[in-house]
Amino acid sequence: MAFFQGKIHFWCVLILCCMSLLVSSDRRYTSPSVPRLTDVFPRVSIDRGFSKVFGGSNIQVINGSMATLALDKNSGSGLASVNKFHYGFFSAAIKLPAGLTSGVVVAFYLSNADVFPHNHDEIDIELLGHDKRNDWVIQTNIYANGSVNTGREEKFYLWFDPTLQHHQYSIIWNNHHTVFLVDNVPVREFQHSSSFFPSKPMSVYATIWDASEWATHGGKYPVNYKYAPFRVSFAEMEMSGCISNPTGTVTSCARSNPSSVDPVEGPEFVKLSSQQSGAMDWARSKLMFYSYCKDTKRFKVMPPECK
């Protein structure tokens, strides 16, 4: 009897392992071919372009081109750009922590909350440690003109394992639209709306922090510091935009036309190409699992851009 029970146990374990492999690999796709916008703009030195804003002892800058940020039981850590920008192309190659990362959030985003605490703008790429599996998801979000209670969140699964190597996460922000890209594949486009669109100069941030209460259903799956420190690597940083002075006046632009307030204004940035639009349709149909435009419980009246 013990022999048969042992065999049954073996086959049950084998089946569960196979199912686990299928679940973990069912979203490993080959992405469509797209233009490599990350090759268009120069990379910036982290030690020159950024300053430490919190958790300084948890930040290591390597040769000026790569930074490791850590979260431990004492603190998270974060960098902020030395300059503020008005429109531009912003990108980072990020390698995420492996293992059980529930409650851990890695963010690459634009914000001016330090200058406009009650009326701020924000464009977010937030990478969320999964609350039940060893997966990561990406959340994109936009706040405009202080509407901190009405963010525009959308969530996606990734089509690769983001812990094995660096992948590029990018933002286009100009007078026409805001576009979120992963490995140059657009996953979301938010068209310029006069009523809701980030309009004031912003800093660029790279952070890792404990978001247990916010990101795991009110703390249901908090960060397990038994697995700390959690380390994220940022590299290949790009920030090409019009630089703004403390008064909010644009003083210089990274593109050839210094009078422009839109440094990403060429045809490849004004609107998505048919190739990019097709790639975005692919990403949204296969990988998006939440959109605020479908959240009727949260929005009794849908925001105008959803109609």
Catalytic residues: 122, 126
State the burial class of residue 10 (Cβ atoms within 10 Å of its Cβ: 0-12, 13-18, 19+).
exposed
Contact predicate 136/130, CB 8 Å: yes
Residue 229 one-letter amino acid: P
Spatial distance between the Cα atoms of 141 and 122, rounded to a whole number of angstroms:
8
Q: What are 77's two structure tokens?
A: 């850590």
Sign of the torsion formed by the C-alpha atoms of 196, 271, 181 and 49: negative
Residue 247 one-letter amino acid: T
Phi-psi group of 121: left, alpha or beta (phi > 0 → left; psi -120 to 50 → alpha; rest → beta): beta
State the burial class of residue 143 (Cβ atoms within 10 Å of its Cβ: 0-12, 13-18, 19+).
buried
Integer angstrom CA distances of residue 44 from 8, 49, 145, 201, 232: 58, 6, 29, 19, 18
Q: What are 232's two structure tokens?
A: 């994220």
Q: Is the peptide bond before 186 cis (omega within 30 degrees of 0)?
A: no
Best CA proximity match to 216, nearest among 76, 97, 129, 103:
103
User: What is residue 307's three-state secondary structure?
Assistant: coil
Residue labelled with tokens 């996606």: 156
Buried b or exposed e, range 79-118, using 16+ CB within 10 angstroms:
bbbebbbbbbbbbbbbbbbeebbbbbbbbbbbbbbebbee
